[in-house]
Structure formats: structure tokens, C-alpha cells
Amino acid sequence: MDRKEALELVKPHLTEHRYVHTLGVRDTALKLAEKEGIDLDRVETAAIFHDYAKFRPKEEMRQIIQSQHWDQKFITYGDELLHAPAGAYLVEQEIGITDNEILSAIYWHTTGKVNMNTMEKVIFLADYIEPNRKFPGVEGTREEAEHSTDGAIIMALRNTITFLMKKNQPVFPETLSAYNDFIFNKK
Ligand code: DGI
Ligand code: FE
Ligand code: FE
Ligand code: FE
């Protein structure tokens, strides 16, 4: 599957706004991957498909998480979490992507996790800082990403956790663990 084909496969599943976001994640992820010295083609595929399930019916996504016996907290901690693990499942089933690193980068792209590998980090951070993102704090995080991928991920996690807390929303435990992990092990 080449880049053009991948983009044609994802486009019908997204709104125009989400497609533009996806192109931003793709470009940003490629820059980060080059800096980190990892395989560009696989990062590009992960970026293009990272929000593949974003507009699936919530009930379909819940069914997938249940039937795969994945962490059921993906269902109970907020509907925004569903599309990440559901997306990993659906791109394997419907697109035929079997590369476990690509699937894992999609699976964890919203919450983060402990011990993230470089591809998981690149997709997580690119999703947060791509040029079309406008939320408060994003500019500082973009700036930090020029110096340190891990440092920028700490800022993204901290922003997300405080944003959720201010709205009285639950924080997925793995997101808090990811934050602690990066604080202890930041490179
Ligand atoms: O799909 P995108 O909008 O591109 O970005 P995303 O997959 O990072 O999703 C962002 C949303 O997910 C945002 O509304 C905050 C929410 N979120 C991120 N981490 C957590 C979370 N929600 C809960 N409840 N817990 C989390 O740890
Ligand atoms: Fe997402
Ligand atoms: Fe994100
Ligand atoms: Fe995204």
C-alpha cells in the first residue's frame, strides 16, 4: 500500500476537518521520526490511520473492546477513548494492517502508556502538536518538541490531565502512569 492509496482508504471515514488534522499528524510524525531515526514508511502509515475509527458508532466500538477482552476502562473512562483501541482493531480487519508496532501506536495514541516505544511516542506527540491544533498550551509543547520528544510528551500529558481534572472528568489510569514514567525516565 503506497501513501496515495492509504490516504484514499482513510478519507471516506473522516470529516474534512479530521482529514486535514490527519495530514498534519502525518507531516509532524515524519519530522519527529526523522529526528528519532525510525522507519518513516511505517510511521506514516500509523499517522494516516490513527483516527480511522473516530466516527464509528460508539456502540460498535464498545462491542469491539468487549469482544477483544481489552481493558474495559476504555469503555468507562470517557467516550473519547474508544476510537483508539477500536481503530487498531478496525485497521487490521478492514485495511489488513498487521504490523504490531503500527497497531500499538494507534491503540495507545489517545491515552499514552508506560514504556512507550519510539513509534508510539511519535504518533502520540504528533497528534497533540500538529499545526492545525489550537488549544491552550500547544505552542509551548511545540517549542519543547524541538528540543526533547520526552519533554514535550510530559507537557502534553500534564495539559491533558489538568484539562480533564478541571472538567471533573476521570483520568485513564495508564495516562497517569505514563506521566509518572516519563518524569522518572525522561531522556
Ligand atoms: O482524536 P483526536 O481529537 O485527534 O485526539 P485524541 O485521540 O488524543 O483524543 C483527545 C480526546 O481524548 C480529548 O477530548 C481528551 C481525551 N482524553 C485524552 N486522554 C484521556 C482523555 N479522556 C479521558 N477520560 N482520560 C484520558 O486519560
Ligand atoms: Fe485520536
Ligand atoms: Fe492525543
Ligand atoms: Fe488525532
- ipTM of the prediction: 0.91
Instruction: For residue 64, tell me if it sits in a domain.
Output: yes
Instruction: For residue 114, tell me if it sits in a domain.
Output: yes
Q: 519527529: which residue's cell? A: 32
Instruction: For residue 67, tell me if it sits in a domain.
Output: yes
Per residue in 29-86, pLDDT (tens digit) is 999 999 999 999 999 999 999 999 999 999 999 999 999 999 999 999 999 999 999 9
Decide whether any atom of ligand 1 lies within 6 Å of the 47 Cβ. Answer: no
Instruction: For residue 176, tell me if it sits in a domain.
Output: no
Decide whether any atom of ligand 1 lies within 6 Å of the 164 Cβ. Answer: yes
User: What is the C-alpha to C-alpha distance for residues 150 and 185, in angstroms, rounded to an integer?
Assistant: 9
The CA angle 105-108-110, to the nearest 5 degrees, is 115
Decide whether any atom of ligand 1 lies within 6 Å of the 173 Cβ. Answer: no
Q: What is the residue-averaged pLDDT of the chain?
A: 97
Q: Which atom of ligand 1 is nearest to the CA of 172?
A: 27
Instruction: For residue 55, tell me if it sits in a domain.
Output: yes
Percent of all residues in the chain with a pLDDT value above 70, rounded to a whole number = 100
Q: From ligand 3's centre to the CA of 8, what distance in Å?
A: 23
pLDDT of residue 69: 98
What CATH number did the domain enclosing 19 receive? 1.10.3210.10
Give, using CA atoms, the residue closest to atom 27 of ligand 1.
172
User: What is the C-alpha to C-alpha distance for residues 23 and 33, in angstroms, rounded to an integer?
Assistant: 15
What sections of 37-148 are H helices per DSSP?
40-49, 58-67, 73-76, 83-90, 100-107, 118-129, 138-147
185's CB contacts (< 8 A; 6+ apart) are 150
Instruction: For residue 34, tell me if it sits in a domain.
Output: yes
Which pLDDT band, with edges at 50, 70 and 90, does 99 fall under?
A: very high
Decide whether any atom of ligand 1 lies within 6 Å of the 74 Cβ. Answer: no
Decide whether any atom of ligand 1 lies within 6 Å of the 169 Cβ. Answer: yes
Q: From ligand 4's centre to the CA of 15, what distance in Å?
A: 12
Residue 10 pLDDT exceeds 90: yes
User: What is the C-alpha to C-alpha distance for residues 159 and 156, in angstroms, rounded to an integer?
Assistant: 5
- Specify the pTM: 0.97
Q: Which atom of ligand 1 is nearest to the CA of 18?
A: 4
Instruction: For residue 63, tell me if it sits in a domain.
Output: yes
Q: From ligand 3's centre to the CA of 103, what distance in Å?
A: 16
User: What is the C-alpha to C-alpha distance for residues 144 and 185, in angstroms, rounded to an integer?
Assistant: 17
Domain containing 14 equals 3-135
Question: How many folded domains does the chain comprise?
Answer: 1
Question: What is the dihedral sign for C-alpha 58, 64, 67, 68?
Answer: negative
What is the DSSP code (8-state) at residue 11?
A: G
User: What is the C-alpha to C-alpha distance for residues 70 and 82, in angstroms, rounded to an integer?
Assistant: 11
Instruction: For residue 87, tell me if it sits in a domain.
Output: yes
